[in-house]
Amino acid sequence: MVNPEPIGFVCGTKGDSVSFLVNKNVNLAFGQIVRIDSSDRCFYARVVNSESSSTLETIEQLREAEGKEAFGPYSAYRRVEAMLFLEKRGGRVRSPTFNPNYRDKVYATSEEDCSILKLSGDLKLGRLRSADQLLGTVGIDISAIPRMMGMFGMTGSGKTNTELILNAQIIDNSPRTVALIYDFAGQLLEGKEIEPQRGLKDHPLFHSKVQYYSAKDRKLAVGLRTITPAKLDTLFPDIQPPQKRFAWALYQHFGVTWIEMSREIYANSEKLPVHANKVVVEALIQKLSSLSNELFPATNYSFVNSVLQNICKGITCLIDISGLRSEDQKRIVCLSASVVAEHYKHAWEENYEEWQKLPTLLITLEEAHEFLDPNSSRTIFSDVALTYRKYRVGLNAVTPRPSRITFDVFAELWTKVIMKTELKKDRQYLTENTPYMEYSETEIKMLDVGEALLISEPKIKFAVPIKVTHYPAYLEKRGNADYSLAASSPLASMDTRLKQLSEQSTKPLM
Ligand SMILES: Nc1ncnc2c1ncn2[C@@H]1O[C@H](COP(=O)(O)OP(=O)(O)OP(=O)(O)O)[C@@H](O)[C@H]1O
Ligand SMILES: [Mg+2]
């Protein structure tokens, strides 16, 4: 399909804005990318507005519509406004240095344009939408992972499907890449709500490259003896410095059993061996007592160590925290993410060679607004978004409420997948704070399920209209390259270890 008929011609330009008149029976859509051939170069522009009218005066139109008078001859026309974003001259593609000329021809994008725009990448998300057609593949590079990303869209817009598509390919690229996924709704394993139902467990490499942890089968235990006072900030964001000093004193006295011992002594109304103000003692013990026995048993085993080992080996970890209380969800998420992220940072600082061998990590965080809200206390995720780029740790913040993500973090998300969003506040936040999106507010409201706008700087510097691949279709196309490997050893060994520990923890402590 080489250069089909033009769809219209330029009737006016001003700065980076181009108006063109469209030929009859041409299908166009808001957000569509068009090409304008202009002597020695061609321009690419996005459709942002359209009006249709006739050369008649309003009064003449009315009289003709009422059948009172016939006017003619006259012309009806459709004028479309588009914003320039790219120019190609010779073999070079760059931001526009000039604008097209009157009567330059306008074309709908073709497969060839798709390759000029360099939209494909290592991790393919979907295909370029051009009116009612789907053109070449659009994706992001692995190097985009540590540049942070976000997926935004209202309920049912297709976020979970996009998470599955992206993470499935991170699994395909293991051990170059690895994913740490927090699943709040317990959807991703089986693909609940995806029609037909397909989840990560249906990925051909699931048994060898993915480890699943869930509170339901008691795989999320964090032994109290693995919690040092240094981790209290993560578990209790509102903890005060005097409580921390008291915790360190207890830790020095009791060692790793400090939490169990202090809780027990306090419960028996006995005197703690370390002196502190009564208010401080009460505040700390109350916090420590709020750790549930089920998630925080008195053992020295923590699932977080298993997560860390797996991540380092390129085994993706899917952590299902559905069914937990919201404070516990936050604790598990922040604790495990900070251990993994700190490991990358530490390796970079202390053992650069080991760090080079680590897979590039993407942490997928659903309900991201709960962790990145400017009105709540800071979590590890804002640190990751702001400073972990050089350690090759990336964050994928998924949320239906982008306006609740603190601005500093939002500005660091260089890749954005924007799906249908109806709430005006969220649409405004997205368009005002994302480069190249200033004209897309209406378009975001009109997207269909699975349709999105993708920006991935520095490679894709404009909002590309895409249709995300449906995960069941991806699996079908990918084929079943299952190598029939036995269940990965970490799972098996962890089960045995967990059994031993749960037996131990039922014994009364001395
Ligand atoms: N690209 C797509 N092509 C075809 N169907 C899709 C696509 N994306 C999503 N769907 C379908 O739309 C429905 C909703 O998708 P999904 O669960 O991904 O939405 P969501 O944004 O995660 O919703 P929620 O906010 O409720 O979690 C599902 O049935 C899914 O199969
Ligand atoms: Mg979802």
How many angstroms is it from 133 CA to the middle of ligand 1?
A: 20
Q: In the structure, which protein residues have their CB atom closer than 6 angstroms to any atom of ligand 1?
A: 153, 155-161, 193-195, 400, 449-450, 468, 470
CA gap 333, 321 in Å, rounded: 8
Is residue 500's pLDDT more than 80? no
Ligand 1 atom having least distance to the Cα of 450: 1
**Closest CA to ligand 1's atom 16:** 158
Residue 486's pLDDT band (cuts 50, 70, 90): very low
Q: What does the pLDDT read at residue 494?
A: 57
Tally the C-alpha atoms within 13 A of residue 180's C-alpha that lie toward its C-beta: 28
349 or 378: which leads in pLDDT: 349
Q: What is the pLDDT of residue 485?
A: 47
- Judged against a pLDDT cut of 50, whether residue 270 lies above it is answered with yes
Whose Cα sits closest to atom 10 in ligand 1? 158
CA of 158 to the centre of ligand 2 (A): 7
Q: What is the pLDDT of residue 69?
A: 79
Arithmetic mean of pLDDT, 253-272 = 91
The answer to whether 183 and 321 are in contact (CB under 8 A) is: yes
Whether the per-residue pLDDT at 2 is higher than 80: the answer is no
What pLDDT band is residue 13 in, cutting at 50, 70 and 90? very high
Find the ligand nearest to 468 CA: 1
pLDDT of residue 508: 42
483-488 contacts, C-beta under 8 A, 24 or more apart: 483/204, 483/205, 483/208, 485/207, 485/208, 486/207, 487/207, 488/207, 488/208, 488/211, 488/315
CATH of domain 137-221+301-494: 3.40.50.300
Q: What percent of the chain has pLDDT over 70?
A: 94
The per-residue pLDDT for range 196-242, each reduced to its tens digit, is 999 999 999 999 999 999 988 888 999 999 999 999 999 998 899 99
* Ligand number nearest to the C-alpha of 157: 1
Q: Which ligand is nearest to the CA of 449?
A: 1
Radius of gyration of the chain (CA): 28
- Sort strands 17-22 and 8-14 into parallel, antiparallel or unpaired: antiparallel
Q: How confident is the model at residue 507 (pLDDT cuts 50, 70, 90)?
A: very low
Mean pLDDT, all residues of the chain? 89
Asked if pLDDT for residue 30 goes beyond 90, the answer is no
Q: Higher pLDDT residue, 64 or 46?
A: 46
Position 509 confidence tier, pLDDT thresholds 50, 70, 90: very low
Select the more confidently predicted residue: 510 or 408. 408
Question: Atom 7 of ligand 1 has which residue's CA nearest to it?
Answer: 450
**Ligand nearest, relative to CA of residue 191:** 1
How much is the average pLDDT of 150-173?
Answer: 96
Confidence category of residue 391, pLDDT binned at 50, 70, 90: very high
Best mutation site among 154, 398, 449 for ligand 1 pocket (most ligand atoms within 8 Å of CB): 449
- At residue 510 the predicted structure's pLDDT band, cuts being 50, 70 and 90, is very low
Q: How many CA atoms lie within 13 A of 243 on its CB side?
A: 18
Q: Quote the ligand 1 centre to 470 CA distance (angstroms).
A: 8
Distance 179 CA to ligand 1 centre (A): 21
Rounded distance from Cα 487 to ligand 1 centre (Å) = 30
* Whether the predicted pLDDT of 366 surpasses 70: yes
Question: Nearest 5°: CA angle at 384, between 212 and 358?
Answer: 60
- Predicted structure pTM score: 0.87
Which structure tokens are listed for 416? 């954005």
Confidence of residue 488 (pLDDT cuts 50, 70, 90): low
pLDDT > 80? residue 482: no
Question: How many alpha carbons lie under 13 Å from residue 112 in its C-beta half-sphere?
Answer: 9
The number of the ligand 1 atom at minimal distance from the alpha carbon of 469 is 1
Please tell me the distance between residue 318's alpha carbon and the centre of ligand 2 in angstroms: 15
- Spans of all domains in the chain: 8-110, 137-221+301-494, 224-294
Of 36-40, 57-61, 176-180, 243-247, the one with minimum mean pLDDT is 57-61
Q: How far apart are CA 311 and CA 170, in angstroms?
A: 12
Residue bearing the bigger pLDDT, 499 or 180: 180
What's the pLDDT score for residue 94?
A: 85
Q: Please name the residue whose Cα sits nearest to atom 23 of ligand 1.
A: 156
Q: How far is the CA of 108 from the centre of ligand 1 (A)?
A: 28
Nearest-CA residue for ligand 1 atom 6 is: 450
Q: Per-residue pLDDT tens for 116-152?
A: 888 888 999 999 988 778 888 999 999 999 999 999 9
Residue in this structure with the two tokens 């084929």, named with its chain if needed = 479
pLDDT at 172: 94
Q: Whose CA is nearest to atom 24 of ligand 1?
A: 155
Closest CA to ligand 1's atom 28: 194
| pLDDT confidence bin for 314, thresholds 50/70/90 | very high
* Alpha-helix runs per DSSP H in 424-464: 424-432, 441-446
**Which atom of ligand 1 is nearest the CA belonging to 196?**
31
Task: For residues 288 and 353, give the distance between their C-alpha atoms in angstroms, rounded to a whole number.
Answer: 39
Gap from CA of 77 to ligand 2 centroid (Å): 43
Lowest mean pLDDT, pick from 46-55, 328-337, 356-365, 489-498: 489-498
- For residues 444 and 463, what is the distance between their CA atoms, to the nearest angstrom? 11
Q: Name the more confident of 481 and 82.
A: 82
Considering only CA atoms, which of 89, 83, 60, 198 is closest in space to residue 477? 198
Q: What pLDDT band is residue 106 in, cutting at 50, 70 and 90?
A: very high
Residue 248: the pLDDT is 96
Q: How far is CA 468 from CA 267, 363, 414, 456, in A?
A: 56, 20, 19, 15
For residues 447 and 421, what is the distance between their CA atoms, to the nearest angstrom? 8
From 124, 181, 193, 401, give the residue whose CB has the most ligand 1 atoms within 8 Å, as the site to mutate. Answer: 193
CA of 166 to the centre of ligand 1 (A): 14
